[in-house]
Amino acid sequence: MTELLKNYVAGQWVAGNGEGSTLTDPVTGEALVRVSSQGLDLPRAFDFAREQGGAALRALTYAERAARLADIVRLLEAKRDDYYAIAIANSGTTRNDSAVDIDGGIFTLSYYAKLGATLGDVHALRDGPATSLSKDQSFSVQHVLAPTRGVALFINAFNFPSWGLWEKAAPALLSGVPVIVKPATATAWLTQRMVADVVEAGILPQGALSVICGSSAGLLDQVQAFDVVSFTGSAETAAILRAHAAFVQRGARLNVEADSLNSAILCADATPDTPAFELFIKEVVREMTVKSGQKCTAIRRAFVPEASLEAVLDALKAKLAKITVGNPRNDSVRMGSLVCREQYESVLAGIAALREEAVLAYDGSAVPPVDADPAIAACIAPHLFVVNDPDRATLLHDVEVFGPVATVAPYEPASDASELREAHAIALARRGRGSLVASVYSNDDAHLARVALELADTHGRVHAVSPSVQGSHTGHGNVMPMSLHGGPGRAGGGEELGGWRALAFYHRRAAIQASSTGIDVLTQMAHSLET
């Protein structure tokens, strides 16, 4: 029988009861390890994290906590090869795709370590300048941010077992808030190993970082008023979470990142003979194939001028035909597998659903996987759809297939000079009811700014690409720690990252009203986020 991975709670490694769930290699079907959270003393785990881990973290200054993050970065860098091996075996990702998760997580940690070092040896933050409350200027108010005296519970998705942990844990630990992470079962091995390495190194105080692998049953019952919960997953599950007493009655905070039908818009000026057209084609293909399309930020809908539709389809099909799919251990393979056969079946069901109103322009089902048994491996080649009437379509704007699947649809550029030529495309993008990201492609930087601002109300991030940034833009789907990650509406309404903005979720804002002398003393005790 395979090894049962232990959980780390209340400062101890504890094995769950029962046989647990088996994690497998999604290419070979080989059983790898098992996980179980059954029988854990959850009340003790949460109490220990709040009382021991939280107190120890808050005793450190921001700069001291930042130094601990930097130590974690060095540790993870030294063990990078171990993590790559786990990712290939458990997630079925190529080395390049594993880097998106592993190196992306390490980079995010490094960013917050450097940011935290600038906050200094203080225990609170000032939010804006002091404001006088009296005519004689003797009585003022200063808004401050103080770390919440609770625990941060992360319920993460299967696609980013490394980055999903560290993009949340970095700002939480820097804020002085202990972390309990519940990774998705299918890919929990990498998260568990990273936590184990950090624990063994003794970098953080006991109780500052815990991991629970297996079922999430009972976790929300432990959440109290000053705890915070961050969830990444489906909108359906998020709706269930929002109704829990932890949030409805006890008032705990909940951050959600959910389904997102992200868009890419080819502007009217980006005709097939221009550089912006090539940038658009390259990015759509990249977003369809990186991590086999298993990214919450991947392009799902591509809106193109009606006159360019055929040229777009031809260019995309030509590039997709060159994508080799299969066993990531084979050097010729550019795209690995989905994370498991369950996800494989889910993607097939999504493809079948889209076929009810869309036409397959590129059918990946005819592409055999390399070095993989199609009856066992969770490998699916790219599928490209086209919807010729996106205004009447419904599934296009409602069904997200979480795999290497995208749909192209034409829009009609406006002829009225008083409105943006891409107004129709913007309206179609908004039918996603709130998305994490939209990208826009034009040869005109000034025009891109106008289109981007029109998309800002319904998107958490707008990625504007022109030839002037072809060698420097970070990519439609890449989440950078300096930029906001999250989106309104269907995308969950949450906000993560965005530089120091990520710290706000783990702090409580208070208005301190005092004499000018008292405010002056307070100024020395808290670092200003404005500097």
Active site residues: 257, 296
Query: Which residue is listed with tokens 């009585």?
Result: 139
| C-alpha–C-alpha distance, residues 283 and 253, integer Å | 35
The answer to whether residues 397 and 391 touch, using CB atoms and an 8 Å cutoff, is: no
Of the candidates 79, 77, 97, 78, the one whose C-alpha atom is nearest the C-alpha of residue 87 is: 97
Of 436, 458, 443, 467, nearest to 267 by C-alpha is 443
Distance of CA 306 to the CA centre of its chain: 33
User: Which spans in 34-127 are helix H?
Assistant: 42-48, 54-59, 62-78, 80-91, 95-117
Angle between helices 275-289 and 309-320 in degrees, nearest 10: 50
Tokens of 82: 């171990």
- Give which of 327, 94, 91 is closest to 187, Cα–Cα: 91
| Residue 173 token pair | 């630990």
Residue 494: CB atoms within 10 Å? 21
Instruction: Kindly tell me the sign of the dihedral angle through the C-alpha atoms of 111, 145, 164, 382.
Output: negative
Task: Determine the Cα–Cα distance for residues 490 and 398; give it in Å rounded to an integer.
Answer: 10
Q: d(Cα 460, Cα 475) in Å, to the nearest integer?
A: 15
